[in-house]
A and B are shown apart, each in its own frame.
Chain A
Amino acid sequence: MRVDVVSSENLSFQYNHSEVLSDITFRISEGDYVAIAGPNGSGKTTLIKVVLGFYRPSKGGIFLFGERPHLFKDWQKIGYLPQKSSTLNPHFPVTVWEVVSMGLLSRKKGGDISRADENEAIEKALEYMDIKDLKKRLLGELSGGQQQRVLIARAIVGEPELLILDEPTTALDPDTRDRFFNVLSEMNSKKTTVIIVTHDVGTIGKYASKLFYLDKKMVFYGSFEAFCVSREMADYFGEYSQHVICHRHDTAKPSFTL
């Protein structure tokens, strides 16, 4: 039986007396690859922040590896890429290597990683994101897309059991985006649970196994196959749009080995 990585029971969250998330119940199991989609202001990022314990639910419960997030301690299991990487200070004096190294902080704190293993993990993450030649460069000297690749490398460097990515592909060119999704698929095939917030339902349909459609409440949660025949989704997207998304989902996944 697969273990629940994230689960919620009748979860609601209010911000300034306004309900941002309403009565949401779901389970994300080990090895799932879940795309969270929804319109602007639908609560996608808020849901991620509730999962990570940044915000506490107003009602109901949320569990991360079976524990309340604010009591959770095994942070080395989590890799996280927040949405607002554009707010990073472009003049921050930090090299690519130093940024990726920050992704190993929880493992370093636990004392369960040697310097040699740390270096190896960083080299591997840089290679995954094809930025090995940038490792000595300052983050502020790189383009927006390169910076995003560095931040993704930081999220995956610890080979986390749960990877949470909030709109990670915004600044990426099509080739880099494909490479990134293939890296995620590779990690997912090795049991990393992936939760990805995205607006691009069409592209993610080629990779994710489940879709979580959110609009303050849970509109749809299930497999892409179920999504393609869902009446609610036809109402939301329109018959034609749903057909396009599902058609793209049917296309074969590109082969990729690391």
Chain B
Amino acid sequence: MEIFEPLNHAFIQRAIIAGSFIAILCSTLGVFLVLRRLSLIGDGLSHVAFGAVSFGLLLKVYPFYVALPIVMLGALGILKLIDRARVYGDAAIGIVSSMGIATGVIVASKSRGFNVDLFNFLFGNILSISKTEVFTSLLFSAILIGFIVFFYNELLSITFDEETARASGIKIARINAILFIMTGLTVVLAMRMVGIMLVSALLIIPSVTSLQFGLGFKWTLILSSFTGVLSVVAGIFISFHADLPSGATIVLLNFFFFAGGYAYKILKIKS
């Protein structure tokens, strides 16, 4: 069938495989972040990634390798600002985020010739993903999903009620550091797919969509992953057939899923 014709192309196969793994990662991690009112951490860290990518392009080093440690440091920086400096979470994200974007703008303004590459990172293009990038995405996604499964009870308990979690012997600071580092890694992985500008959408929207259905925690995670993967796969097909930018198509699809979920909730309340 013509609709499945894109599957004959190797670059589409690569995009679907890598995209699905990253979607599962973003949408499960996103549920924890949204419920802890840290939704905008993805947005903040993507701005740090912007600064890091600019540096990478300036130094002619593959931006992924530069962004990885810098974004993780940014994630830990936000955590320290919240814990030690007693800065409110949203303000801490704002501080680190604006530092990242300011650095990126300064570096870009002093550079010559790499603004086109920077544009690619800003808006992403999952269809141009290489074999090495597929492998890296799969490896990191598998490790991070493994972390979420391994620390599932701790993450759930802290997200639900930090005080009681502490009285269960959970090392809150350690688990929070793991969560923030995982978020940083996820942002770097996802920016290649949907771009720096839209990465937070993949962390937030599938989670918020799944929250509309009034399910228990495990089913919320499963539904969030499902809508994330569906948006990536359907987004790739639509962008191929309609010649649309893939990242933006994926994000818009996520918005439509959210609208559907919200409509379901309203109908359920009225019935």
| Given known A-B contacts A105-B157, A105-B170, A91 and B211 have beta carbons under 8 A apart | yes
| Given known A-B contacts A88-B161, A93-B220, A105 and B153 have beta carbons under 8 A apart | yes
A2 on the B face (CB < 8 A): no
The answer to whether A106 and B216 touch across the interface, beta carbons within 8 angstroms, is: no
The answer to whether A94 and B164 touch across the interface, beta carbons within 8 angstroms, is: no
A73 on the B face (CB < 8 A): yes
Number of A-B residue pairs at CB separation under 8 A: 74
A18 CB → nearest B CB, Å: 17
B160 on the A face (CB < 8 A): yes
The answer to whether A98 and B216 touch across the interface, beta carbons within 8 angstroms, is: yes
The answer to whether A106 and B169 touch across the interface, beta carbons within 8 angstroms, is: yes
The answer to whether A138 and B35 touch across the interface, beta carbons within 8 angstroms, is: no
B217 on the A face (CB < 8 A): yes
A42 on the B face (CB < 8 A): no
In the bound complex, CA of A84 to CA of B214 (Å): 24
B182 CB → nearest A CB, Å: 20
Residues of chain A within 8 A of B157, CB atoms compared: 102, 105
B224 CB → nearest A CB, Å: 10
Using CB atoms, name the residue of chain A closest to B210: A93
The answer to whether A82 and B35 touch across the interface, beta carbons within 8 angstroms, is: no
The answer to whether A138 and B169 touch across the interface, beta carbons within 8 angstroms, is: no
The answer to whether A108 and B166 touch across the interface, beta carbons within 8 angstroms, is: no
Closest 10 CB pairs of A and B: A75-B169, A80-B167, A95-B216, A93-B220, A105-B168, A82-B163, A106-B168, A94-B217, A106-B169, A102-B157
18 sample A-B contacts, Cβ–Cβ < 8 Å, listed by A number = A75-B167, A75-B168, A75-B169, A78-B167, A84-B163, A89-B35, A93-B214, A93-B216, A94-B156, A94-B217, A95-B217, A102-B161, A103-B168, A105-B153, A105-B168, A106-B168, A108-B153, A164-B167
